[in-house]
Amino acid sequence: MADPPTGRADVSQLFQLLRDGRPRTRAELSKSTGLARSTVTGRVDELLRLGLITPVGEAASTGGRPPSQFALNPGAKVVIAADLGASHATVALADLTGELLAEHAEPLPIDLGPEPVLTWVVDGARALLERTGRSERDVAAIGIGLPGPVEHSTGQPVNPPIMPGWDRFDVPGWMREHLDVPVLVDNDVNISALGERAFAWPGTEHFMFVKVATGIGAGIISDGLLQRGAQGTAGDIGHVRAARDVDVPCRCGNHGCLEALAAGPAIARTLAAQGLDARTGSDVVELVKRGELAAIQAVRQAGRDIGEVLTTAVSLINPSVIAIGGSMARVSEHLIAGVREIVYTRSSPLATEHLAIVQSAAGRSAAVRGAAILAVEHALSPEGLAHAFAPR
Amino acid sequence: MADPPTGRADVSQLFQLLRDGRPRTRAELSKSTGLARSTVTGRVDELLRLGLITPVGEAASTGGRPPSQFALNPGAKVVIAADLGASHATVALADLTGELLAEHAEPLPIDLGPEPVLTWVVDGARALLERTGRSERDVAAIGIGLPGPVEHSTGQPVNPPIMPGWDRFDVPGWMREHLDVPVLVDNDVNISALGERAFAWPGTEHFMFVKVATGIGAGIISDGLLQRGAQGTAGDIGHVRAARDVDVPCRCGNHGCLEALAAGPAIARTLAAQGLDARTGSDVVELVKRGELAAIQAVRQAGRDIGEVLTTAVSLINPSVIAIGGSMARVSEHLIAGVREIVYTRSSPLATEHLAIVQSAAGRSAAVRGAAILAVEHALSPEGLAHAFAPR
């Protein structure tokens, strides 16, 4: 007779179907997977025992006892999500749909270095677990966003310009000494793309998130997948040469980069040259809020400069939505108006026919939402499942 | 007792493992899939009976009779591949690894319209089948490349500028009246990316193919997947505004597009203005071959103009290889020298550290090779498998 099947592949196959949240009967599961009814029954029992799925409602009866339906149990586990910005940090707990359950944010300079900042994350996560009555055993994975380039495969920052002490620091290794679950690390703009899409544009397969703040960067989702590129630098548009030939030096060592022309500090410099009191992006935000015409015009011009680069992005990537976030976009519609002006003028009709260019709806929470999704995606994958739900 | 499993999912699961060509034993297949040994034995027999896999060599014995190994049988079926250019067409047969078995090419203007051109493909394919001793029943799928935008999901050209009569023509529907197998259609630059990568850069996950001929376009592969974008226009870089602010009108209706500045006819125009006898890209090629300095300089400048746009592509997509093909790149290294000059000067060190910018190695055959891969990928997918190997 046959060796008994190991069953792991079957369980994972069933669970991958059920994780979309749509309830299904045993008969539907058998049909979708091609597994025998008896096998499905055994695997469903196993997933119920683990608490990973839960019986839901009742399916339409086909006569006799109505068959039970099952779906993902979003509260079976939690994930920890952290968004670590240049000067501000957020830590949150989320359920297995990525929904935020609790969060805590405070000013925290990233240049304190990795150990103090990550200790803050561990302490904050433990406090949130306690507040929500969950234990460390309930944590399936941790997602972390950092304000610089990250090698996603190792979770290590690589030459991050504003993060002294973080270069090649083993973030997952350090974290796992304190919380022994898988740790996923990515840069904040990439995870903002994940978070913004889940929050405002679920199901959009070709999506781009552009952050305009102290720097400028983009996160790209194509065919539903976050694009990182060969070295993880995909979306790094801050150092593309701007179309306007202005010979401004950039902190990267080159001249005329988009960031040196259109990010917050660059707009402030333009305004200071006109005699206005502006040194930082926050000063620009204040001037725009006060209705200062020169500031509004400078922000709109920054939008046009960004639009020139996004026109090329539209031709290359053909997204259906570009969401623009970051402090410079949040303050008003002027930046986005400048972007739209150029992109809709310069791009091919086919590429812009169904293109929406919009303000970020998730706002400041885009990154921490994305960190949660990064963790959930891993925890619920066949690979992550083996770890997350093994008895500890 | 249990209902019998339908088995289709199991068969497909086994075959997806075996299609990489690496031989595996039944024990290895059981371990990789989690299926019972008895199930694997049954499924292997089924795949052997269909001729889809074949026994290969002998695995290292662990004592007793050496276990047999199995792998994809590349000759089990064939695919038809067609590359239809503006004025030239190629039709070929390929095996299930995408290797070309036979091909036929001749001048054929695409503006004859769809029926005459596709009739040529059908007749040519039948002649190749006869020449190689295969029957129409052996054909698993057809891949076709067209010189214009194609909606990949329907296989229909959409507003193709140089293809009168082809707009929204149902290419797969027409073909299936003559050869009833799945028909995959894409634009020639996208399939050239597939073909060039398979020919010269197998395993490269982040790859870009740029064609510079009468027009300019790019095919992008990210994470190993061809990128088409929301409307199928991804890679359409010909109408990005060039960095050099030259106000040339473009056939698209805009001004200053890359194509209007750096494609073959544009270079010819530049040379004609200098008093040289050049009207087409072919004239430019002739002048470069003759060592005409002005022509060499103009081609190099075109390379720089293309390089400006590719710099943005490198920042956005972060490929590890950019292969440049098309008649303007094939003639000499001058175009690529211009591209390299700009991209390596303007891009971030991290993005270019491991970036190769090279001439196409597959040359004219890149597109027809890609058409074969398009067809093979579909035929061997779980979805395609059901059709391709159903008894007819």
SS (H, E, C) B365-388: HHHHHHHHHHHHHHHHCHHHHHHH
Q: How many CB atoms lie within 10 A of CB B84?
A: 28
In A, which residues are within 8 Å of B187 by CB distance?
none
Phi, psi of B91 (to 5 degrees): -125, 145
Quote the tokens at residue A25. 């009967």
For residue B68, give how far its alpha carbon lies from the nearest alpha carbon of chain A (Å). Answer: 19
Chain A residue closest to B317 (CA)? A234
Question: In which element (H, E) is residue A184 found?
Answer: strand A183-187
B229 contacts A317? CB cut-off 8 A: yes
Count of alpha carbons within 13 angstroms of residue B274, beta-carbon side: 14
Instruction: Compute mean pLDDT per 10 residues along chain A, 392 residues long, and list them.
Output: 45 79 87 81 85 75 65 92 94 95 96 97 98 95 94 89 92 96 95 96 95 94 94 89 83 87 95 95 95 96 96 94 94 92 87 92 95 93 69 52
Helix axes A8-18, A26-33, angle to 10 degrees: 110
DSSP type of residue B242: P
Contact B327, B282 (CB under 8 A): yes
3-state secondary structure of A31: helix
Q: Confirm if A181 and A141 have CB atoms less than 8 A apart.
A: yes
Which residues of B are less than 8 Å from A316 in CB distance? 218, 220, 234-237, 312-313, 316-317
Smallest CA–CA distance from A210 into chain B, residue: B316
Q: What are the residues whose beta carbons fall under 8 Å from the beta carbon of A293, sequence distance 6 or more?
A: none
CB B165 within 8 Å of CB B149 = no
Secondary structure (DSSP) of A126-168? HHHHHHTT--GGGEEEEEEEESS-EETTTTEE-S-TT-TT-TT
Distance CA(B332)–CA(B299), nearest Å, equals 9
- Which of A324, A366, A326 has the alpha carbon at shortest distance from A100? A366
- Residue A93, classed as helix, strand or coil, is strand
Instruction: Let me know: does B319 contact A229? Beta carbons within 8 Å.
Output: yes
Most B CBs within 10 Å: which of A28, A226, A233, as the mutation test of the B interface? Answer: A233
For residue A91, the model assigns a pLDDT of 98
Q: How many residues does chain A have?
A: 392
Contact B318 A30 (CB under 8 A): no
Contact: A38, B225; criterion CB under 8 Å: no
Residues A6, A11, A12, A14, CA torsion sign: positive
Shortest distance between the Cα of A85 and any Cα of chain B, in A, equals 22
Chain B residues with CB under 8 Å of A237 CB are: 312, 315-316
**Do residues A4 and A42 lie in contact, with contact meaning Cβ atoms separated by under 8 Å?**
no
* Neighbour-count burial of B334, counting CB atoms closer than 10 A to its CB (0-12 exposed, 13-18 middle, 19+ buried): buried
Element containing residue B103 per DSSP (H, E): strand B100-107
Q: How many Cα atoms occupy the beta-carbon half-sphere of A267 within 13 Å?
A: 34
Residues A346, A348, A352: CA angle, nearest 5 degrees: 90
pLDDT, residue B40, reads 86
In degrees, rounded to 5, the angle at the alpha carbon of residue A276 between the alpha carbons of residues A272 and A279 is: 50
pLDDT of residue B36: 79
Edge-first strand listing for the sheet containing A100-107: A100-107, A88-94, A78-84, A139-146, A183-187
Q: Helices in chain A by DSSP H: which ranges?
A: 8-18, 26-33, 37-50, 114-131, 171-176, 188-200, 258-262, 264-273, 281-289, 293-317, 327-330, 334-346, 349-352, 366-380, 382-388
Residue in B231, B309, B316 nearest the CB of A237: B316
With a cut of 70, which residues of chain B have pLDDT below it? 1-9, 58-67, 387-392
Question: Cβ separation of B158 and A350 shorter than 8 Å?
Answer: yes
A155: left (phi over 0), alpha (psi -120 to 50) or beta: left
Instruction: Report phi then psi at B383, rounded to 5.
Output: -65, -50
Name the minimum distance, in Å, from the CA of B346 to any CA of chain A.
7
CA dist B358 and B336 (Å) reads 7
Token reading at A379: 């925890």
Beta bridge pairs of residue A106: A89
Of B156, B189, B187, nearest to B173 by C-alpha is B156
Q: Which two tokens stand for residue B381?
A: 């997918």
Contact: A218, B316; criterion CB under 8 Å: yes
Cβ separation B235–A206 shorter than 8 A: no
Beta-carbon contacts of B114 under 8 Å, excluding residues fewer than 6 positions away, are: B165, B166, B169, B171, B174
Chain A positions in Cβ-Cβ contact with residue B316 (cut-off 8 Å): 218, 220, 234-237, 312-313, 316-317
User: Cβ of B308 and A241 within 8 Å?
Assistant: yes
The rounded distance, in Å, linking the Cα atoms of B81 and B184 is 10
| Residues of chain B neighbouring A10 (CB-CB closer than 8 A) | 34
Give the mutation candidate from A167, A204, A231 for the B interface (greatest B CB count, under 10 A).
Answer: A231
Q: Structural domains in chain B?
A: 8-72 (1.10.10.10), 78-181+367-388 (3.30.420.40), 193-361 (3.30.420.40)
